[in-house]
Structure formats: C-alpha cells, structure tokens
C-alpha cells in the first residue's frame, strides 16, 4: 500500500465512524430538489444505513438477490459482467451514483453483475421494502428515486447507441469529453473494457490524441 492509498484508507475510516457527517453529505446532495427541507430530514437513519466497503471487496456479486439500494457517498466501484469466461466492465461508478443498475427497485432482483470496489467506499443503503415507507414520510425521495431511474435509463440508452454507431475512437473521445475525471480513478484496462476495446487499442488512441493536441 503506497502513501496515497494509506491516507485514503485513514480518511475513509475516520469518515465511516461519523454517520452524522455522512448523512450531511447525503442531505447536501438532496438540496438539488426544490421540496427538500433540511429541518424535516432528521430521521434518515431510521431507513438508511451506512455501509463501508474496503478496497478490493464487493458490494454484491453475480447471482446475489439484490434487496438493497446503494448510493455512493465516497469512493469508486466498477460493475463487472462475465461473458464467455471473460470479465467485462459495464459501469464505472463514483460519488453520487447508485449501484444497482436497473430501471426499478423492486425486490427479488438477481444480479447479473459484480460490484467491485476499486477504492475504499462509503455508501448509504436502504432495503427495497422500506423505500415506499421512506417516500411517505419524506416525499422528496420520490424525486430522488425517479432521477436515479432516469439516469439508469439514459445510461443504458447511451451505452447501446455508443456500441451501435460509434467507432472505438469516437467512444473514447466522448468518454474523455464527459467523464475525463474518471481517468484519474480507474486504470486504463478498466476503461478499455468499459469502452469495449483492447488495452492496446485504447493506448494507441490516447497516444494519437496526445500527438494531435501537441
């Protein structure tokens, strides 16, 4: 473990022991909704729990019955599917992302993916069976979950479009324009898999882009 990784683990460990701070980050995210009221948000821990996952561990695995919705407060993870004995990265997730890439949050969903943490990660989680109760008490969460559904739908549509009509270079260019910050969080092999290309292809595209820029 290098010095940077050690500091990251220490910071995450300290934060994980401060659930009030974690929920304050979550509340800050919720302020984007017009009907959010800070004074009414003092009982979130009745429904939500804090979950800490160490680097190189899983939030869930392929075949698990998913009965919990997770939202990343700090950290990063990748979703991995196995196809013909080959691991394929299907999503790169960081702060402000939900971890259950599906269009609804009904219980009984069996995961076809593995959620693997590439950093020490802190989430707030809620059981699917408690979501309707949460929305009844805090209506703002109706907008929150609707937004998460919409983001997932858009994500899946964009992924499909990218592989249908874009070349490898075009996929990388669009990724760099909209998600260049992820280049500092995920290694190039993960990004290459996510973009549907070999590592050497990504290296060649990046090298040509650097030469063109200079």
Q: Kindly report the pTM of this predicted structure.
A: 0.87
Statement: 3-130 belongs to CATH 3.30.70.920: no
Q: What pLDDT, on the 0 to 100 scale, is given for residue 211? A: 79
Residues found in the chain: 214
Q: Which residue has the higher pLDDT, 33 or 212?
A: 33
* Nearest CA-CA partner of 195 in 153, 159, 161: 159
Question: Tokens 């874009």, residue?
Answer: 166
pLDDT over 90 at 100, yes or no? no
Q: Are 208 and 173 in contact (CB under 8 A)?
A: no
DSSP secondary structure code for residue 98 in this structure = B
Q: What pLDDT, on the 0 to 100 scale, is given for residue 1? A: 52
158-214 pLDDT, tens per residue? 999 999 999 999 999 999 999 999 999 999 999 999 999 999 999 999 999 887 776
Look at 33-42, 99-108, 140-149 and tell me which has the smallest mean pLDDT: 99-108
Query: For the residues 54-81, what does the mean pLDDT come to?
Result: 94
Query: For the residues 7-27, what does the mean pLDDT come to?
Result: 72
Q: Are 18 and 122 in contact (CB under 8 A)?
A: no
Q: What pLDDT, on the 0 to 100 scale, is given for residue 61? A: 94
How far is CA 74 from each of CA 39, 70, 79, 207, rounded to the nearest angstrom?
24, 12, 16, 31
Domain boundaries, the chain: 3-130
pLDDT over 60 at 141, yes or no? yes
Q: What pLDDT, on the 0 to 100 scale, is given for residue 109? A: 79
pLDDT over 60 at 60, yes or no? yes
Please state, in angstroms and rounded to a whole number, the distance separating the CA atoms of residues 21 and 19: 5
Please state, in angstroms and rounded to a whole number, the distance separating the CA atoms of residues 77 and 130: 25
Reading the block at residue 17, the tokens are 């022991």
pLDDT over 80 at 7, yes or no? no
What does pLDDT average to over the chain?
87
Q: What pLDDT, on the 0 to 100 scale, is given for residue 32? A: 87
Residue 43 — pLDDT band, cuts 50, 70, 90? Answer: confident
How far is CA 102 from each of CA 47, 57, 121, rounded to the nearest angstrom?
21, 21, 21
């Amino acid at each position: 473990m290098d010095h940077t990784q050690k500091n990251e683990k220490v910071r995450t460990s300290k934060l994980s022991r401060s659930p009030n701070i974690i929920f304050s980050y979550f509340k800050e995210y919720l302020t984007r909704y017009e009907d959010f009221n800070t004074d009414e948000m003092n009982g979130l821990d009745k429904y939500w729990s804090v979950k800490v996952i160490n680097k190189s561990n899983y939030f869930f695995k392929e075949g698990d019955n998913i009965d919990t919705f997770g939202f990343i407060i700090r950290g990063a993870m990748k979703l991995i599917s196995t196809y013909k004995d080959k691991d394929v990265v299907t999503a790169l997730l960081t702060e402000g992302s939900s971890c259950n890439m599906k269009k609804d949050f009904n219980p009984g969903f069996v995961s076809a993916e593995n959620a693997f943490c590439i950093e020490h990660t802190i989430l707030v989680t809620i059981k699917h069976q408690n979501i309707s109760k949460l929305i009844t008490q805090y209506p703002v969460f109706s907008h929150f979950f609707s937004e998460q559904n919409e983001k997932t739908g858009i994500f899946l549509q964009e992924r499909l479009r990218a592989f249908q009509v874009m070349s490898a270079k075009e996929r990388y260019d669009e990724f760099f324009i909209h998600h260049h910050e992820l280049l500092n969080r995920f290694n190039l092999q993960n990004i290459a898999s996510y973009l549907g290309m070999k590592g050497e292809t990504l290296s060649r595209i990046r090298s040509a882009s650097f030469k063109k820029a200079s």
